[in-house]
Amino acid sequence: MSQSAVYAPSPEFVQNALVKGMEGYRALYDRAAEQPEQFWGELAEKELVWDEKWSQVCEWNPPFAKWFTGGKLNAAYNCLDRHLATPRKNKIAILWEGEPGDQRLISYQELHRLVCRFANVLKSRGLTTGDRAIIYMPMIPELPVAMLACARLGIIHSVVFGGFSAEALKARIRDLGASVVVTADGGWRRAKEVKLKPAVDEALTECPGVKNVIVYRRTGGEITMQDGRDHWWHDLDADEGISDFCPAVPVDSEHPLYVLYTSGTTGQPKGILHTTAGYLLQTMMTMKWVFDLKEEDTYWCSADIGWVTGHSYVVYGPLAAGATSVMYEGAPDTPAVDRWWRLIEKHRVSIFYTSPTAIRSLIRQGEQWPDKHDLSSLRLLGSVGEPINPAAWEWYYRVIGKNRCPIVDTWWQTETGAIMISAMPGAIPLKPGSGTLPLPGISMDVVDMDGNPAGTDKEGFLVIRKPWPAMIRTIWGDPDRYQQQYWSRMPGVYFSGDAARRDSDGYFWVLGRVDDVMNVSGHRLSTMEVESALVHHPAVAEAAVVAKPHEITGQAVCCFVTLKQGYTDHQALGAELRKWVAHEIGAFARPEEIRFTDALPKTRSGKIMRRLLREIVTTHTVTGDVTTLEDLSVVARLSAQREE
């Protein structure tokens, strides 16, 4: 692996870079490793604005960490107000384009005004510090406005991706104990209105805790409003009492900023809790280190804010760092497949951060589409969400970056909050497919089953040895699961759930998940979540779900289903079950394939052997130990069966 192609940054890039050359990286990394408290403490002092200084940098009672204890600050103040006394006051904070082509250029000053007004609206509905808000919106500026308004008041937000169904939304509202839902009538995707409000109505039939629904009018489509509960955003905003200023509430460093639900290894999604100071500091620092951010950059992270990448690298990181963050509402292929290249050309985007799954689908469209556009404004590219295959890397480098833009491959998770492994582009030579090295202050390793370093080029578990500022604090309402999930395999060591290997240069090569979490288009989804959706269907007796390799989306959902007595119409049921899963979880979870079978491969103790099913869908044969199988003929029948 260490023999793979190496791409060193150009002398020009190095000259202008924030961190220059391997010496620059080593100096920072070693200093952080030797004196972590001083390292993070100095950055916190210099980079954040505090209402009260902290007394201790890190309190570590494994597995519970607290950062900057005793300090007080406000995340929205740090993203907005602090820029207003600087030349950034009139800099564009959010450069937004809607799918229909509408455009809004929102300065820091204007964003501050919008956030203050909406914070006042939330206040007028009686909401206060510690309350929980669910935000279920399309990619429009009011989504970050709502997040920052919550942060301004110390209200804990949880953004639910607009692609999630009413069922998934309901589970999140209930788990969080939210009292308000902020939503929109709908959004635009593929030139069609995608409605959101009806899903909220459906979810709320079983959420008595929700007293207020605030609805932004985006599409103007027909929706119903429930008297007393539902309010139009613009009506509340028009009230005379709503002013352009709302004081930011100083909160403790460890005050919860948000909860973001992500898939684990069970059917129940986990509410990942992030708190204020450490999260903000690390997202801001990585924004500078990884994207080598310059004042004049136009930065576009194509992620939906409903996922962690959007939280950290569309909203909090870029705004805290004073960047111009581009947001696009719609699909990459509307009105034509060159929409993204059009956006880059039109807005002179200089830093572009996207996922391998997006890159692969753009490759499929052909080089003629990017070639129609002037992409010369680009100077840096990024990748996130899954391992990037070298072919996609090379295409991205050559066709989009014109062989002159470094690609930063950034490894991190919802739980880590911020980028952990990535090149600093002016410092670290790249190898296609490797995230390269951990960032300063981050202690990563690859270990064997016993927790010992795996050794050069040996596959093992990717772990984190020391607490880091933006780390997950707990799972909302379930500290035991937090402990068990991440910290129980090896004492005091964070278990990421990924397999990896390190080469002789110390570079990390992440190989993918070792647990039952699938990764479809960079979206996390657990096999159990899909299985429990399937067995809810009256026709389904049993279901086993595995990921199957997919050319574009990386992985696709493949379901093995046994039916109850009397159900025989495979063709109709196949279609129905795919629809059913989309309804239960969200359209992105729609199975690629449903395979009906008379039995599932089980051990004598009754456990479904998903490993065998995984082998069947990937290699069409079964290897390894099958001695614990109850009925060997099941596997033979499954391997022989073709897709129905």
Q: Interface with ligand 7RM by CB under 6 A: which residues?
A: 262, 307-309, 384-387, 409-414, 435, 496-498, 510, 512-513, 519, 522, 524
Q: Which residue has the tokens 């939330």?
A: 122
DSSP 205: G
3-state helix, strand, coil in the chain (%, to 5): 35, 25, 40
Distance CA(363)–CA(346), nearest Å, equals 21
Cβ at position 416, least distance to ligand 7RM in Å: 8
Strand order in the sheet with 351-354: 103-107, 92-97, 324-328, 298-301, 351-354, 380-383, 407-409
- Tokens linked to 422: 């990535």
Distance CA(558)–CA(518), nearest Å, equals 11
Cβ at position 511, least distance to ligand 7RM in Å: 8
Between residues 302 and 309, which has the closer beta carbon with respect to ligand 7RM? 309
Could you tell me if 75 and 119 are in contact, meaning their C-beta atoms sit under 8 angstroms apart? no
CA 499 to chain centre: 19
Please identify the residue of the shown chain whose CB is closest to the bound ligand 7RM. Answer: 414
Which is nearest to 419 in space by CA: 302, 516, 288? 288
Between residues 211 and 465, which has the closer beta carbon with respect to ligand 7RM? 465
CB atoms under 10 Å from CB of 181, counted, come to 26
Between residues 237 and 459, which has the closer beta carbon with respect to ligand 7RM? 459
Distance CA(325)–CA(328), nearest Å, equals 10
Alpha helices in 255-377 (DSSP H): 277-291, 308-310, 317-320, 339-347, 356-365, 368-371
Cβ at position 478, least distance to ligand 7RM in Å: 17
- Tokens linked to 578: 């795919």
Between residues 186 and 269, which has the closer beta carbon with respect to ligand 7RM? 269
Q: Which residue has the tokens 């082509």?
A: 101
Reported as half-sphere exposure (CB side, CA atoms, 13 A), residue 266 has a value of 9
Between residues 179 and 263, which has the closer beta carbon with respect to ligand 7RM? 263
Distance CA(596)–CA(558), nearest Å, equals 11
Please calculate the CA angle 389-377-324 and round it to the nearest 5 degrees: 95
Cβ at position 414, least distance to ligand 7RM in Å: 3
Cβ at position 499, least distance to ligand 7RM in Å: 9
Between residues 290 and 540, which has the closer beta carbon with respect to ligand 7RM? 290
Cβ at position 354, least distance to ligand 7RM in Å: 12
Cβ at position 576, least distance to ligand 7RM in Å: 29
Cβ at position 481, least distance to ligand 7RM in Å: 16
Between residues 262 and 298, which has the closer beta carbon with respect to ligand 7RM? 262
Distance CA(71)–CA(472), nearest Å, equals 19
Could you tell me if 135 and 96 are in contact, meaning their C-beta atoms sit under 8 angstroms apart? no
Cβ at position 425, least distance to ligand 7RM in Å: 15
Which is nearest to 74 in space by CA: 116, 114, 107, 108? 116
Mapping DSSP onto H, E and C, the string for 544-568 reads EEEEEEECCCEEEEEEEEEECCCCC
- Tokens linked to 487: 């910290």
Between residues 71 and 435, which has the closer beta carbon with respect to ligand 7RM? 435
- Tokens linked to 272: 């990942």
CB atoms under 10 Å from CB of 270, counted, come to 26
Could you tell me if 350 and 291 are in contact, meaning their C-beta atoms sit under 8 angstroms apart? no
Between residues 438 and 497, which has the closer beta carbon with respect to ligand 7RM? 497
Between residues 112 and 513, which has the closer beta carbon with respect to ligand 7RM? 513
- Tokens linked to 506: 């110390």
Cβ at position 498, least distance to ligand 7RM in Å: 5
Distance CA(232)–CA(225), nearest Å, equals 9
Cβ at position 56, least distance to ligand 7RM in Å: 29
Between residues 281 and 470, which has the closer beta carbon with respect to ligand 7RM? 470
Cβ at position 472, least distance to ligand 7RM in Å: 10
Between residues 309 and 325, which has the closer beta carbon with respect to ligand 7RM? 309
